[in-house]
Structure 1
Amino acid sequence: MITEAKLFSDVMGDPELGEIEFDTIDEYARRLAQLPTDLYQSRRRYKTDDIDELIRIAERDDGVERKQEKTVKGHIGKLSEILAFGVRQHMLRFNPASDYKRGDGRFSVPRAQDERHAFTSHELSLIFAQDWFTTGTSSFTRTGWTKWRPHYYWLPLLGLFTGGRINELSQLYLVDIVQSEAGQWFLDFNLMGADKVDESDKSLKTANARRVVPLHNRLVQLGLPEYVQALRKAGHTRLFPELKRDAVKGYGKPASSWFNERFLGRTLGIERNGMKTFHSFRHTFLTATERQGIPERVMAQLAGHQRGDTESYTRYAKDRDADQLAPVINGLAFPETDGIAPFIASDGIRAIRCAERQKDSVRRRSSGANAV
């Protein structure tokens, strides 16, 4: 099992448990089928541990035998046993590898189960009916205190209109919100940045997750660029400075805890069975994008997946830039967001100060307890 876990980690870039979804297993199966049968000997023969390079070698060299369907199923079966243990230990809500079937090189999931994974229009309406969406802010006490945070407003909107994973969005720096020479705003998902806390301050699911995604006109209208400027003026470097980074799961951990458990579960009363999470925004986004008849390679780029199965796609074809992708993104329409008011940036800065005061209070209590 240790060997199987390491294979999954090597091939998929060591994703966090909470990020392993149906499409993760799909991508894992596709990449396994592209690899040489004997991975150990191939690594020695070609003197490389780079999975992408081994895939390219196997594709280029007709003499290299690739993993067969039975072998791929065996690997997925072992992975399913590992994830099932995670479910029993309450580390995972469900096992996304339990129903794996390989047909036509794709991951088949029963349609009803697949549909339950995306948010319904009713659920989106419930989410975006909260007061901080309809007013662009939330209530403050006479002393200026609030428990509301800016990521309550921006993270669901970014998840819906960009399809970004929660950790990808939560870790964004202000320099990652960019405007092209033509004036198009976009998110740059990357691992770079002079303002990073340390080398592990950013993480992406796989190398293919490095990409740009244009900001929908709706996000611009609601004031995201203006909020970025307000954050810079206040001396911040991150889009969500109120989020505390977890040493293992990054900035997405506190955001996931708020959205999945406290908001969806306690506030909206949506059953916590693992089928509706922040990741459901991603499914909703990709479903809406696919229904525009977008080419598969463009879909893969926006999703942060491998850009096709051939070397022509993965090595030579270049990603589209933000200006080229903008019509695709702006073609999305979610009427459930029509009643949202523009974000009040000054109140967002005030809420961040409240978060900082709260963190300072927690640190002081912790220091006092340690001293005792």
Structure 2
Amino acid sequence: MGSAVDGDPFAAPAASLFLVPDTRHFSEIIEPTIMLIHKSGDWNADLEQRRRVIHGFAWISGDKRLCDYGPADAQLFAKTLRDLPVDFRWGTATEGAMSRPLADVLAEIEAMPAKTPRGDRTFNRDLTIMARFSRELAKTAWRPKFGKDLIVDFNAFTTSIKAIPGETDRMPWTEEQLVCAFSSPIYTGGGGCKRRLKNDPQGNVWQDAAYWVPLLLAYTFMSREEACGLECVEVIFDVSTPFLLVKANMTKSKDGVTAAGLKRPSRYRVIPLHPELLRLGFEDYVAAIEAEGHKMLFPELYRGDLAKRGGVRFYATCGRYLLDHVDRITPLLRTASGKRADLHSMRTSGGSALEDLRAKQIHVDDIMGHARKGTGPRNYSKAWFAKGGAAILEKRLVLMCEATPNVTAHLARAPLALLPLEERSRTGSSVGCASRKKV
């Protein structure tokens, strides 16, 4: 009788826990299994992070034959995640940490003088990704020989997240800090490429993502990726209440074939444009970008590298420098662990402003892109169709204007001025600032 070693890929090991032992190595089935989950609708097109986690498990577990896995492998993965610091860089199978023996990498980490552990939410996120992957494999290669319980159960090792009274994992921006951001030389007049945060006698105000994205974050409560990935056709001006549409599109596509960019279905939404965005010339900017022949509202963020998230490039080329500029003048709020408010915290400020206004939760959810809760709000609240979208947009705009302080009243509308595409949104640091890449 042949064995797996002799070449029979389904020859049963002596103590296999699975119904049909599969001697393929774990790494061989990663990509087809990811595609099965994606096609099922459970995972959207943003697979980069999930793919990294799954390859990380293959590395940590030793990329064994599928039939050789068991409960201890999920436990090992959880324990190793706890040992890896928050700023650990995984690399790939050909370069970086995952191209080297796990024991050597862990020994180097153990010798590090100071390590910041990864948070419980990040820890649980990675285990949840692997749990979904394990459930897919449990239909075939990891189908249990007896019973229905998962053999490789990652959910068994997730940790409960206990809220500590008075603490939060993200701090908002204050009105003073927002005014400080929009009083920087980017908005009042600075230099050119890599000198945007330095005062300049000519006082140039250039318009691009560095100028408009922070304004969009402050006045529409979008996430960084949503704002950076907008397309020109998604901004509508010739209606009674101008608005923008947050939807999946090809700018945020990961494969160049499938529209992407919605974290979850509830993030699809229509957001009215604050009057300050219109006063400062947003319509002229959008028209100018369209006239250049671009579909992307901020084409410089995707130039030459469509696979890279625009928000990541925005942070790297200008966002982090704006944070440092504000932090030096009006220190940003920090959590108990020392994490300072970041760009996404502008969205937190928007949600906080709506909360302070005591707006109905259903209106807050629709503006922020949160899923409605309860049978009534989910199934029976259809005011958009009953009263018409124009009436609902007008109401949303009133709520947002009442909630949001005017943090740009001091700015004059600057003449439209565009740098060459390759120089846009590259601000450089301000005087006296050395930006930290990780905050």
The TM-score, its normalising length taken from structure 1, stands at 0.61
CA contact (8 A) 2:302 2:308 kept: no
Q: Aligned pair 1:233/2:302, yes or no? A: no
* Counterpart position of 2:352: 287
C-alpha distance 149-178 of structure 1, shift in aligned 2 (>3 A): closer
Residues 46-94 of structure 1: CA deviation (Å, up to 9, x unaligned): xxxxxxxxxxxxxxxxxxxxxxxxxxxxxxxx99996985715168996
Aligned positions of 1:357-372 closer than 5 A: none
Aligned positions of 1:118-133 closer than 5 A: 118-133=172-187
C-alpha distance 281-195 of structure 1, shift in aligned 2 (>3 A): closer
CA contact (8 A) 1:80 1:98 kept: no
C-alpha distance 200-147 of structure 1, shift in aligned 2 (>3 A): farther
Q: Aligned pair 1:151/2:209, yes or no? A: yes
* Counterpart position of 1:313: 377
- How far apart, in 2, do the equivalents of 1:83 and 1:212 lie? 40
- How far apart, in 1, do the equivalents of 2:413 and 2:363 lie? 30
Aligned positions of 1:1-372 closer than 5 A: 85=84, 87=86, 89=88, 95=119, 97=121, 108=163, 110-113=165-168, 117-135=171-189, 138-139=191-192, 150-179=208-237, 181=239, 183-192=240-249, 198-200=256-258, 202-244=260-302, 250-265=309-324, 268-269=327-328, 274-310=339-375, 312-318=376-382, 320=384, 321=389, 322-345=393-416, 347-348=417-418, 350-352=419-421, 354-355=423-424
C-alpha distance 147-132 of structure 1, shift in aligned 2 (>3 A): closer
Q: CA deviation at 1:175?
A: 0.3
Aligned residues: 280
Q: How big is the alpha-carbon RMSD for the aligned residues of Structure 1 and Structure 2?
A: 4.4
C-alpha distance 292-234 of structure 1, shift in aligned 2 (>3 A): same
The TM-score, its normalising length taken from structure 2, stands at 0.53
CA contact (8 A) 2:242 2:272 kept: yes
* Counterpart position of 2:74: none
Q: CA deviation at 1:147?
A: 12
Q: CA deviation at 1:254?
A: 0.4
Give the match's secondary structure for 1:262: helix
C-alpha distance 267-307 of structure 1, shift in aligned 2 (>3 A): closer
- How far apart, in 1, do the equivalents of 2:405 and 2:399 lie? 14
Structure 2: give runs of 5+ residues left out of the alignment.
Answer: 1-29, 50-76, 91-115, 125-160, 196-201, 426-439
- How far apart, in 1, do the equivalents of 2:346 and 2:326 lie? 18
CA contact (8 A) 1:163 1:285 kept: yes
- How far apart, in 2, do the equivalents of 1:159 and 1:284 lie? 10
Q: CA deviation at 1:154?
A: 0.6
- How far apart, in 1, do the equivalents of 2:79 and 2:341 lie? 21
Give the match's secondary structure for 1:336: coil
C-alpha distance 228-111 of structure 1, shift in aligned 2 (>3 A): same
- How far apart, in 1, do the equivalents of 2:44 and 2:276 lie? 33
- How far apart, in 1, do the equivalents of 2:373 and 2:287 lie? 37
- How far apart, in 1, do the equivalents of 2:270 and 2:186 lie? 28
Higher helix share: 1
Q: CA deviation at 1:212?
A: 0.6
Structure with higher Rg: it is: 2
- How far apart, in 2, do the equivalents of 1:280 and 1:334 lie? 16
- How far apart, in 2, do the equivalents of 1:184 and 1:83 lie? 50
Give the match's secondary structure for 1:256: helix
C-alpha distance 171-328 of structure 1, shift in aligned 2 (>3 A): same
- How far apart, in 1, do the equivalents of 2:48 and 2:162 lie? 19
CA contact (8 A) 1:80 1:97 kept: no
